[in-house]
């Protein structure tokens, strides 16, 4: 008869332990107590719940995993006592189960500071999906929310409150944000970037009392310095404490400040009881990251399956995360506490980045570092530190922006085989390389499936990709940059073929240069480059079947199956009459309205059958498609320039309208954004755009290849003090050169970073015509400009095209699954838990 193993806790670490036991095929009867009403889910990405992810999206448990592996899980039943003498566990529902071995994976609980009023109506913690559901329900009647705690979890929580539409503040007792991970300078950069997002930051604040209104609800916070802050809701996210109550009751050894004491085997003071994750105390340290917890789970599973190959000897607490869209990383001796250590810092106020390296006394070894705003070098830096590799002669090159001719020569080939590439799953370089060689792996998906590298937080995927390319090159296998299995050409090569061979349809290209029938990769990619080359209407018969959902319906699909309507508003300039039309349309069709960050107005919530009717009204009023659904020019943002502003030196509004109307509808490998600022005060944020224009007293400066999205990058100066004619000519050349040479779905910033020779090369091509193609590029753009037609205007005049805008093929009925509720005076899609409640009520 199999021995019985009981696990208490079904969080990320508890589930990983059960996965390890199942993978090892151990002869154990596995039973697990899960206190929450749902099985394990991804706490690391918990804030995604407020961005539209459901509990199912966050789940870590594959369908039928527990059933298939005969694991008995008691969901919603908390273990309340352990009888070590009789080796039993008793649950809140009265279930008593005996065990041969016991694993405690009870995790941690949120620390709530002992402040008067910390239990008032309107106070919450940020730990579980249930906490989030309670916060979300209460927030519907709130305008302002405060997070107490400016650490990792606190800033994640601030992101969640912002996603709920609350004016958000962060209150931190320490003098800076993330005091454990970043230093004073890094904290200052992080603070500025978060404040730029509209979040109020209050550091060095000691809360003395939380005050209630006449209804007993939170209304105000009082601070020791005499100041106060009004709020409707407070979430405590001021750190964690190990959940060691059960262990205390059963008299297991506990640390002086909490935590279940474990040894190298993850065994407690009782050899039949193990502890893993945030409840465990090893060498007087609690490990509050998921990777060390996974490592403990692996060690405990090894021991229980009879192996002593691995020990838990602590873990590297280096972290790389994206908080509120901002990259933050900290590793090793980030604060330079090692005797004789020296520091290299780059504090770039213009780019909004802070990078710091801590090196040993002679500058030959990396000891640690901090990255804020740009954590791209993190993977390489971590390997250099962990493997004690010699630094290059100029270590600052490791954190300087890439420039022509600069090389640090610190690629993955120099890492030792023992280098831990994936810390979440403890996968080394040697294991990855061996798998690539022995299993003949040829793509990153296969490497991830075979080795598990990159399947945790995903931070190591760039290094894993570099290893794959390196191994393929060593084996004499050409690194495949084919568009897909149907075309043995890159996107750039296909664009050249389309142009040179005068190919106008996907089928013609497939017949001459491809195989098979095409797929979801090549069809939209070819559709895009055909539009870039010839500017044919994308809903014409040869092209319509190639488009993805957004392009197929000339609108962005939203999470509830409705669509967006975002007409073009060049330069953000709009007449009162047009504003009135937008308001009338929104009222008539019950649309959610919002002013965007790109000087346009979103109308959200349109059913597919309503789109033609809405656009009939808008086109009649003089609006045209804003291409928010396409990989095309979106907007050209502007300030008011010399027309109104006392600092303006040029008419930025006039130029932005002219530029937007010139390049409207231009299809590209990825979306394009632009802006025109009327002076160097840069109110239109032109340097964060794919191409940006800034006025000078002598003309216009042209900046290119900026990116304000997932990985922000400032644009670089291409040319200065240009007259308008020259400016337009250079933009024509730049855009068409990018369209010719970029990869599929590659933004201008990424394209530029790969460009051999950098800005000097680009200037030679665009300004000096070093390739002799300037005239061709200008002619191609002239064709685009002369053949432009609003896609919605064309569609409305074509009965065949209009037939696609209905939910059912054989009925005019709308989609019955679209359910919306009212919030802040407007309709929005229901969240999944609300839909379930509505189903119960009905």
- 236 φ, ψ (degrees, to nearest 5): -85, 120
Place of tokens 């998921």: 290
d(CA 395, CA 707): 27
Strand order across the 592-595 sheet: 563-565, 601-606, 592-595
Whole-angstrom distance, CA of residue 10 vs CA of residue 17: 9
- Could you give the C-alpha distances from 267 to 15, 34, 485, 558, 766, in angstroms and in order? 18, 21, 51, 49, 66
Provide the terminal-to-terminal Cα distance of the chain, rounded to the nearest Å: 49
* Rounded distance between C-alpha atoms, residue 296 and residue 313, angstroms: 9
Distance separating alpha carbons of residues 553 and 572, to the nearest angstrom: 25
Q: Six-digit token pair at 331?
A: 């590793």
Give alpha helix (H) positions in 140-244: 152-163, 184-196
Cα 763 → chain centroid:
32
Residue 541 buriedness (CB in 10 A; 0-12 / 13-18 / 19+): exposed
The angle, 0 to 180 degrees and rounded to 10, between the axes of the packed helices 152-163 and 129-139 is: 40
Cα dist. 230→164, 211, 218 in Å? 18, 9, 9
Query: Contact at 8 Å (CB) between 643 and 653?
Result: yes
Residues 13, 312 contacting (CB under 8 angstroms):
no
460 is in an annotated binding site: no
Alpha carbons 257 and 269: distance in angstroms, whole number = 17
Name residues whose C-beta falls within 8 Å of residue 440's C-beta, 6 or more positions apart in sequence.
none
Q: Which helix (H) or strand (E) holds 741?
A: helix 724-741
Alpha helices in 401-517 (DSSP H): 429-438, 444-451, 461-474, 491-500, 506-513
Paired tokens of 340: 């004789």
781 to 678, 741, 752, 777: CA distances (angstroms):
26, 15, 20, 6
Q: Write the CB contacts of 528 (distance below 8 Å, at least 6 apart in sequence).
A: 631, 667, 668, 669, 744
- The radius of gyration computed from the CA coordinates of the chain, to the nearest angstrom, equals 29
Cβ count within 10 A of residue 122: 24
CA distance 552 to 805: 10
Is there a contact between 58 and 45 (Cβ–Cβ < 8 Å)?
Answer: yes
CA separation, residue 70 to residues 19, 22, 25, 30, 98 (Å): 12, 9, 11, 7, 17
Rounded to whole angstroms, the Cα distance separating 689 from 681 reads 16
Place of tokens 């006394």: 361
Tokens of 700: 């216009």
CA distance 369 to 399: 10
Three-state secondary structure call for residue 632 = strand
**679 annotated ligand-binding residue:** yes
Tell me the β-bridge partners of 601. Answer: 595
DSSP state letter for 814: P
> DSSP string spanning 549-596?
HHHHTTS-B-TTS-EEE-B--GGG---HHHHHHHHHHHHHHT-EEEE-
Determine whether the annotation assigns residue 683 to a binding site.
Answer: yes
Could you list the residues known to form a binding site for siroheme, using ranges: 683
Could you list the residues known to form a binding site for [4Fe-4S] cluster, using ranges: 639, 645, 679, 683
Could you list the residues known to form a binding site, using ranges: 639, 645, 679, 683
């Amino acid at each position: 008869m199999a021995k019985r193993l009981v696990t208490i806790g079904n969080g990320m670490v508890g589930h990983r332990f059960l996965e390890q036991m199942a993978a090892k095929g151990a002869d154990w009867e596995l039973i697990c107590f899960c206190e929450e009403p749902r099985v394990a889910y991804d706490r690391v990405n918990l804030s995604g719940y407020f961005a539209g992810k459901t509990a199912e999206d966050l789940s870590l448990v594959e369908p039928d995993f527990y059933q298939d592996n005969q694991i008995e899980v008691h969901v919603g039943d908390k273990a309340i006592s352990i009888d070590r003498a009789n080796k039993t566990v008793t649950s809140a529902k009265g279930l008593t189960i005996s065990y041969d071995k016991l694993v405690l994976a009870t995790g941690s609980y949120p620390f709530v500071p002992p402040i008067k009023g910390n239990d008032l109506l309107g106070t919450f913690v940020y730990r579980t999906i249930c906490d989030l559901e309670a916060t979300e329900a209460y927030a519907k009647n709130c305008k302002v929310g405060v997070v107490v705690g400016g650490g990792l979890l606190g800033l994640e929580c601030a992101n969640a409150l912002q996603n709920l539409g609350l004016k958000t503040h962060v209150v931190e007792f320490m003098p800076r944000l993330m005091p454990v991970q970043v230093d004073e300078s890094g904290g200052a950069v992080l603070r500025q970037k978060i404040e730029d997002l509209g979040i109020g930051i209050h550091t060095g604040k000691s809360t003395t009392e939380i005050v209630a209104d006449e209804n007993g609800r939170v209304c105000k916070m009082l601070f020791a310095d005499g100041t106060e802050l009004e709020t409707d809701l407070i979430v405590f996210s001021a750190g964690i404490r190990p959940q060691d109550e059960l262990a205390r009751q059963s008299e297991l050894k506990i640390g002086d400040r909490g935590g279940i004491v474990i040894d190298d085997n993850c065994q407690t003071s009782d050899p039949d009881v193990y502890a893993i994750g945030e409840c465990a105390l090893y060498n007087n340290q609690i490990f509050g990251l998921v990777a060390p917890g996974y490592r403990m789970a692996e060690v405990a599973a090894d021991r229980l399956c009879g192996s002593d190959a691995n020990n838990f000897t602590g873990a590297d607490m280096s972290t790389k995360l994206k908080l509120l869209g901002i990259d933050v990383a900290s590793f090793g001796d980030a604060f330079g506490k090692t005797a004789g250590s020296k520091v290299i810092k780059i504090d770039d106020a213009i780019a909004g980045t802070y990078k710091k390296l801590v090196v040993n006394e002679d500058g030959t070894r990396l000891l640690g570092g901090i990255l804020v705003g740009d954590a791209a070098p993190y993977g390489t830096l971590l390997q250099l530190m962990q493997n004690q590799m010699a630094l290059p002669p100029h270590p600052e090159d490791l954190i300087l922006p890439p420039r022509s001719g600069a090389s640090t020569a610190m690629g993955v080939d120099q890492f030792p085989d023992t280098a831990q590439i994936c810390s979440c799953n403890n996968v080394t370089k040697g294991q990855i390389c061996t798998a690539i060689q022995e299993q003949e792996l040829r793509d990153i998906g296969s490497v991830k499936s075979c080795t598990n590298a990159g399947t945790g937080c995903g931070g190591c995927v760039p290094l894993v990709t570099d290893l794959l390319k390196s191994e393929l090159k060593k084996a004499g296998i050409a690194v495949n940059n084919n568009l897909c299995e149907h075309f043995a050409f890159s996107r750039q090569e296909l664009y050249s073929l389309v142009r040179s061979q005068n190919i106008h349809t996907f089928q013609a290209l497939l017949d001459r240069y491809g195989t098979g029938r095409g797929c979801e990769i090549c069809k939209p990619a070819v559709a895009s480059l055909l539009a870039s080359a010839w500017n044919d209407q994308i809903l014409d018969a040869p092209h319509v079947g190639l488009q993805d959902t957004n392009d197929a319906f000339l609108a962005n699909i939203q999470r509830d199956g409705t669509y967006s309507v975002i007409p073009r508003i060049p330069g953000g300039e709009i007449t009162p009459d047009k504003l009135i039309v937008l308001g009338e349309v929104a009222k008539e069709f019950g649309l959610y309205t919002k002013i965007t960050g790109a000087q346009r107005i979103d109308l959200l919530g349109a059913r597919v059958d309503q789109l033609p009717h809405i656009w009939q009204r808008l086109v009649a009023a003089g609006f045209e498609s804003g291409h928010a659904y396409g990989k095309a020019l979106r907007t050209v943002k502007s300030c008011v320039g010399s027309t109104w502003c006392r600092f303006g030196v040029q008419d930025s509004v006039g130029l932005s309208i002219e530029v937007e109307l010139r390049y409207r509808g231009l299809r590209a490998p990825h979306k394009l954004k632009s802006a025109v600022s009327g002076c160097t005060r840069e109110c239109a944020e032109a340097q964060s755009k794919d191409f940006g224009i800034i006025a000078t007293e002598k003309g216009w400066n042209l900046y290119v290849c900026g990116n304000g999205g997932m990985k922000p990058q400032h644009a670089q100066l291409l040319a200065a003090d240009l007259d308008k004619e020259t400016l337009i000519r250079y933009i024509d050349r730049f855009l068409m050169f990018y369209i010719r040479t970029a990869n599929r779905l590659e933004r201008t910033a990424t394209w530029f970073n790969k460009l051999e020779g950098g800005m000097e090369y680009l200037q030679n091509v665009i300004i000096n015509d070093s390739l002799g193609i300037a005239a061709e590029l200008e002619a191609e753009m002239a064709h685009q400009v002369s053949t432009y037609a609003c896609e919605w205007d064309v569609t409305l005049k074509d009965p065949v095209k209009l037939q696609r805008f209905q939910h059912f093929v054989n009925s005019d009925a709308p989609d019955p699954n679209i359910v919306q509720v009212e919030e802040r005076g407007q309709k929005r899609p229901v969240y999944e838990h609300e839909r379930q409640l509505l189903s119960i009520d009905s």
